[in-house]
Amino acid sequence: MAVGPENPTVIRLDPAIVKWHNMTVNRHKYFRWTKRTAWLTFAYVILVPSILGTAGYMTDGKWEMRGKRRGDMISEF
């Protein structure tokens, strides 16, 4: 049989994981608004939802997928 540590309930922590965890917990303390962070915030909060909303609004009701058979047209216009 293999010989293990004297106390098998002790877990050794990886220093890299501990450092990463501390970085993510304290991220708000070191955040700064730069051109890059402002652009990314604008893109994910305003630009992407508006593009998806516009595309959804323009295509709303144009296709009917329910009750179609092979060869039937899915476009309603």
Give the distance from CA 46 to its chain's centroid.
16
Residue 37 forms part of a structural domain: yes
Residue 38 forms part of a structural domain: yes
pLDDT of residue 49: 97
Residue 20 forms part of a structural domain: no
pLDDT digits (tens, 9 = 90+) for 4-62: 667 667 778 899 999 999 999 999 998 999 999 999 999 999 999 999 999 999 988 88
Span 68-73, average pLDDT: 79
Give the whole-angstrom CA distance, residue 38 versus residue 29. 17
Domain count along the chain = 1
Domain that holds residue 47: 33-59
Residue 11 forms part of a structural domain: no
Residue 49 forms part of a structural domain: yes
pLDDT of residue 50: 98
Give the whole-angstrom CA distance, residue 77 versus residue 61. 9
Residue 50 forms part of a structural domain: yes
74 close to 68: Cβ distance less than 8 angstroms: yes
